[in-house]
C-alpha cells in the first residue's frame, strides 16, 4: 500500500514562507506524477501544483510565481516551497501521487494544515 506523509505545515504571517514535504513509501519515479492540492473549510479540493516523472511542472494560476514544486529522488520526497503567503492560501494541503497502468490509481496523504495570519 502506497503511503504519502506530509509535513511542514504550520502558522505563518502573511508574506512569509513555508516548505511542505511529502515523503513517499515508494520510488517517486514509479508514479506518473505527484501533486499538491489544497482544501479550505467548506470548499472543494483544488489543484495547486504538479510534477511529472519527466520533471515537467504545472501550477494553478493563483500560485504561479510564488510556489515551487520540486523533488528529491534520493529521499523519495516531493516539496512545495510556498513564498509570499496570504490568508487566501490557508487550507489543508494534500499530497497526491498518480499511477497510470491499465487503470488510474490515485494515492493521497493525510494532509497538513497551513494557517496564514494577516
Question: pLDDT for 29-62, tens place per residue?
Answer: 999 999 999 999 999 999 999 999 999 999 999 9
All cell numbers assigned to 62 = 493563483
% the chain with pLDDT above 90: 98
* Burial class, 89, CB count within 10 angstroms (exposed 0-12 / middle 13-18 / buried 19+): buried
- As a whole number, mean pLDDT of residues 109-118 equals 97
Amino acid at each position: 500500500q502506497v503511503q504519502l506523509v506530509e509535513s511542514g505545515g504550520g502558522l505563518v504571517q502573511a508574506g512569509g514562507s513555508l516548505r511542505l514535504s511529502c515523503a513517499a513509501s515508494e520510488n517517486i519515479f514509479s508514479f506518473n506524477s505527484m501533486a499538491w492540492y489544497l482544501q479550505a473549510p467548506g470548499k472543494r479540493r483544488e489543484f495547486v501544483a504538479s510534477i511529472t516523472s519527466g520533471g515537467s511542472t504545472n501550477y494553478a494560476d493563483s500560485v504561479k510565481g510564488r510556489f515551487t514544486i520540486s523533488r528529491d529522488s534520493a529521499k523519495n520526497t516531493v516539496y512545495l516551497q510556498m513564498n509570499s503567503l496570504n490568508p487566501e492560501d490557508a487550507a489543508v494541503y494534500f499530497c497526491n501521487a498518480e499511477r497510470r497502468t491499465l487503470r488510474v490509481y490515485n494515492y493521497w496523504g493525510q494532509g497538513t494544515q497551513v494557517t496564514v495570519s494577516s
